[in-house]
Structure 1
Amino acid sequence: METATTYSKHISTHIDRTAEEVYAYASVPSHLPEWAAGLGRSVEEVDGRWVADSPMGRVVVVFAPPNEFGVLDHHVTLPSGKTVHNPVRVIADGPGCEVVFTLRRRPEMSNEEFHRDAAAITADLATLKGLMERG
C-alpha cells in the first residue's frame, strides 16, 4: 500500500440528514454509482471483493468494516496495482452531519491531476447531499 503523501486537502459538505442516515446509505457499496461517479459508474461484487468501472479503469475497492463511528475509509487498488487509502468520515452536526473526504496527493500526481480529483470528489459529495436531502 502506498503511504507517502506530500499534501492533503479536506473536502466536505454539510447534509441535512442525520449522520446515521447518511452513513447507512453511503456505506453500502452497491450505492456508489448513484453518488460517487469519481469512483465508478458501476460496481459489482466479484469473489467477495467490490470491483468498480472507474474513470481510471477497473479498480478494486475495499471498505472499512461497518462501524458506529461514521468511518467510510476505503482502499482503492488502481489498474497499475498501486493501492490508495481514502479517509472519509460522516460526522454528526446537530440534526445534520458533515461528510469529510481527505484527498491525499500522491507523489506522482501532477497539480492538474490533484485538482481534477478534488473537483470529482466535490461533485460526488454534492450528489450525495442532493440524494440524501431529497430522500
Structure 2
Amino acid sequence: MNTQSRHLSVYIDRPVAQVYAFASDPANLPRWAPGLGSSVVREDGSWFVETPEGGVRVTFAPENEYGVLDHDVLTPSGETVYVPLRAIADGDGCEVVFTLRRSRGMSDEEFERDSALVTGDLALLKKVLEEGADT
C-alpha cells in the first residue's frame, strides 16, 4: 500500500478532447514523456515502451468521455505500477492531473526526483500541444 500521493498538474490551452486524444495514444508517449522510454511499439494488441531497464507494457484505460487516462505499466521485474492521470475540462482548455504515488521503500530523494520528472513531462505535454501544429 502506498503511503503518500502528490497531485501534479498543468493547464493546457487546448480543448480537453484534443488533449485526451493526444495523451491517450501510446504512440505519442515519447513526444511528451521521454523519461518513460524512447520508443513505442504495438505487438499483438499491446503497447510496449523501451526503457533503460528493458521493455515495459503500457495499458491505458478504455476510451472514455471523462478524460480518464489511467494506465498500468508492467515493468521488466513483473511489477505492475498503476498511474492515475486525468484530463479535466477547464473553460476552453483543460487541466491535466497526474497522481504520483510514493511506493513502499522510496526515499524522500527518489520521490522528489520522480516528482520533478513528472513535472517536466507535463510541461512538455503542454508545450507539444500548445505549440505543435501536427498534434
TM-score (norm 2): 0.93
Q: Which residue, 13, 24, 29 being the options, matches 2:26? A: 29
Matched residue, 2:102: 105
Q: Is the 8 A contact 1:57 1:79 kept in 2?
A: yes
Matched residue, 2:61: 64
Q: Superposition RMSD on alpha carbons, in Å? A: 1.1
The Cα shift of 1:48 comes to 1.5
The Cα shift of 1:104 comes to 0.4
Number of positions where the alignment pairs a residue of Structure 1 with one of Structure 2:
132
Q: Which residue, 111, 114, 124 being the options, matches 1:114? A: 111
Matched residue, 1:128: 125
Q: Which residue, 36, 39, 47 being the options, matches 1:39? A: 36
Q: Which segments of 5 or more consecutive residues in structure 2 lack a partner in the other structure?
A: none
Q: Is the 8 A contact 1:19 1:96 kept in 2?
A: yes
Q: Secondary structure at the match of 1:62?
A: strand
Amino acid at match of 1:78: T
The Cα shift of 1:56 comes to 3.9
Q: Which segments of 5 or more consecutive residues in structure 1 lack a partner in the other structure?
A: none
